Structure 1
Amino acid sequence: MVEDATIGKQKLRMIHPLLFVDEDGSKIAFKEEKNGNIKYFYYSTPKNVSLAVAHSQKMDRKETYSDVSNSSSYKTYINNVSALSIMGAKTGSKFDPTGTMTQGEFIDALIKAHGWYGFPGDEAINRQQLAASIPDLNLSAPISRQSAAVMIQTLKQLEPMATSKVKLQDTADAWAKDAITTLASQGIVDPDTKLSADGSFTFRAKDLLKRQEASALIDLAFGYHSLLIKW
């Protein structure tokens, strides 16, 4: 049986040990790790548009990092992406919250956050889309905040929130402005990016993305993966 707040309870019938079907005929597939633990499940259900293709991951709480204080406004985001193995320690027990990420590292994190990591075909397609989303891709180069926003929007394809009027105050390249303002209208900004009452904000688009900022943007954009679904 699976249960969450949206679909309620669903009884499952086993087709084989890693494939089940619910009462409506929708399939649920589980992915097994080499050690036998179940790490992912995939659920295709027509009951709700937002769950049309739901893919979630079993969460394992990780140890806290020695360089992330309890008072950090990024701590929750860092814990969430760590629990989902989207991002982890840089060295030993340190997350390196103010360190940078390469474009390749950020793409790896997005693929995992998007929920298709390890599924043949889909991962390759998403990697191609991300690679084509920014000019002058260099997987070894540090990623900028504006490139990170564009990559997130490439996967999420969000619409600007009609009730949220936002205005970017500082400079960003033309290819990144729409992605930045769309994410901001949806509340997908790091804790250090403040929206004024009139919707204006400074994004520091061309600054290099910090790891703690990446954790916040990823968790806010893909946070549904941290919902605990009972199974």
Structure 2
Amino acid sequence: MSGLPFQDYVSKNIFNPLGMDSSSFIFNDEVKQAIATPYDNNLEQLEQIKNVPDNSPQGGMFSTGGDMARFMLAMLHNGQAGDGRFLTEASVKAMEHTSVTIHPDIPGAGYAFEMNYPKDYNGYTVVEKGSDLSGFHSNLWLLPGQNTGMFLALNSDKGNLRLPFFEQFMSRYFPRTDAGPAFLKPAPDKQQLLRFEGLYRHLRTPVLRYDITATDGALIVRDALGTHTLRQADDLLFYDEEGTPTGFKSDADGNITYFSYNMTDSWAEKIPVPPIFSDVPVNYPYAKSIYYLVQLGAIPGGTNEFKPDKAVTRGQFLSQIMPLAGFQLSTRPSVFSDTKGSPYEAVIQTAVDYGIVQGLPGSIFGPNQPLTREQAATFIWRMVKISLNADPVKADLKTPASPWASEGVQYIAGQQLFGPDVQAAGGPLEYRPKDPMLNKEAAELIYKLVQKLF
């Protein structure tokens, strides 16, 4: 609308009026000389991440604590910057308003700002914005009613000081002045809470999930962070034992459809119990893994047969693991000659883009070839190493894997990401690395990975 490139518009209308002389959306020579060195989870130096092609409006600003202080002061003064103004007061108020929330008493998201950590913050109104890249993590908090702002930036993946730091800041300077949430009396019994039971899948990162069980007086939630007890304060409003609010959303018929709690970025959707495959009865040894992945969307349901003893293909396996981790599918042309037109083309290219896949000799991938167990282990190992900074694991194996697959197989074996297909009688594990991986074994591997890491 302005006729200006994004970075020029921001410089003219935000950076210059506020005196933010050390901020830029371009990875230029000045930024390169001034930028901090990023470190990974093991405090090893990381390569600087450049904005591609040249700027990243959704969160790629290079800045300093001093410049962010100037921005926060202008926001806290309702858009006033010295003798000028960079935003109208109405715009500032609109940005501080929670536009989308699952319940009026729960923080949500608005224009530019989000409640990144869904905490109650002692009853005060807090608007914030967080950002994460490999080696860099930051958060900005504003308390408009208290004329207070804070910015914290870290240049290491090791630890996350942001939430405990701000919670302690709030406890010291803005402690709770009320008695906290009031719960329903009498507390609802199990029968009244049954409608909340079920498995909930995170909408942005499907591998993250909540398993909710009803008991007399409370809901028990199991997730990647542990086990929590939720007590009801209002129709669709609950609080856990630490005072963290959580909410549900229902459809027009009163059926529970969504849940929001302690995982950032998104709500979770309640997923229905899947239909039973004719060849996977509920007492089948791999049934729990298979039906769990159907619920998460990793395995398609609605078909009569699962074919548990059929070998999974290379493309099929990637289509099961990549969307679970929340990777956005690539739109780039395939680098492999044999994946063009394949139903797995986009997911395979996504795996290439992230370094999870390297292909086979001859610049091919073999999407329809049976996947070997050591290939599956390698895909999983690369994924957790890249996305979670996972450390290698040593394992005592009876049959050695190929040299290129050794780290991956040891990781899978050491983390015990397998089912009845691997037997150990007090000695080395027989992982059978070069055997084809069957559908049921792939389901067990992915299920165990989700349970252990997410």
Distance 2:411 2:267 in 1: 25
The one-letter code of the counterpart of 2:395 is V
**Residue number in structure 1 paired with 2:430:** 202
For residues 76-225 of structure 1, the aligned pairs below 5 Å read 76-89=288-301, 92-117=303-328, 125-128=350-353, 129-132=355-358, 137-157=365-385, 158-161=390-393, 166-198=395-427, 200-223=428-451
How well do the aligned residues superpose, as a CA RMSD in angstroms? 3.8
* Superimposed CA distance per residue, residues 135-158 of structure 1 (whole angstroms, 9 cap, x where no aligned partner): 663112111111000001110113
Give the number of aligned pairs.
197
Distance 2:375 2:305 in 1: 25
Cα 1:109/1:215, change in 2 over 3 Å? same
Distance 2:325 2:439 in 1: 18
> Is 1:133–1:150's contact at 8 Å kept on the other side of the alignment?
no
* Unaligned stretches of 5+ residues in structure 2: 1-100, 117-125, 131-200, 206-223, 226-261, 333-346
1:25 pairs with 2:25: no
Cα 1:56/1:93, change in 2 over 3 Å? farther
**Residue number in structure 2 paired with 1:11:** 106
* Superimposed CA distance per residue, residues 190-224 of structure 1 (whole angstroms, 9 cap, x where no aligned partner): 332133434x1001111111011111111111337
Cα 1:224/1:197, change in 2 over 3 Å? closer
- Cα drift, residue 184 of structure 1: 1.4
The one-letter code of the counterpart of 1:151 is F
1:69 pairs with 2:281: yes
* Superimposed CA distance per residue, residues 146-179 of structure 1 (whole angstroms, 9 cap, x where no aligned partner): 1000001110113245xxx621101421111111
Cα 1:39/1:114, change in 2 over 3 Å? closer
Distance 1:171 1:109 in 2: 26
> Is 1:188–1:220's contact at 8 Å kept on the other side of the alignment?
yes
- Normalization by structure 2: what TM-score? 0.37
Percent identity of paired positions between Structure 1 and Structure 2: 18
* Unaligned stretches of 5+ residues in structure 1: 3-9, 28-37, 43-47
- Cα drift, residue 24 of structure 1: 7.1
- Cα drift, residue 40 of structure 1: 1.1
Q: Relative contact order, CA 8 A, sep 6+: which one is greater? A: 1
Cα 1:203/1:54, change in 2 over 3 Å? farther
* Superimposed CA distance per residue, residues 85-115 of structure 1 (whole angstroms, 9 cap, x where no aligned partner): 10124x8321111111211111111112222
Distance 1:54 1:197 in 2: 44
Distance 1:59 1:180 in 2: 34
SS at match of 2:365: coil
Cα 1:63/1:194, change in 2 over 3 Å? same
SS at match of 2:351: helix
Cα 1:194/1:57, change in 2 over 3 Å? farther
SS at match of 1:58: strand
Distance 1:159 1:14 in 2: 34
Distance 2:267 2:442 in 1: 20
SS at match of 1:146: helix
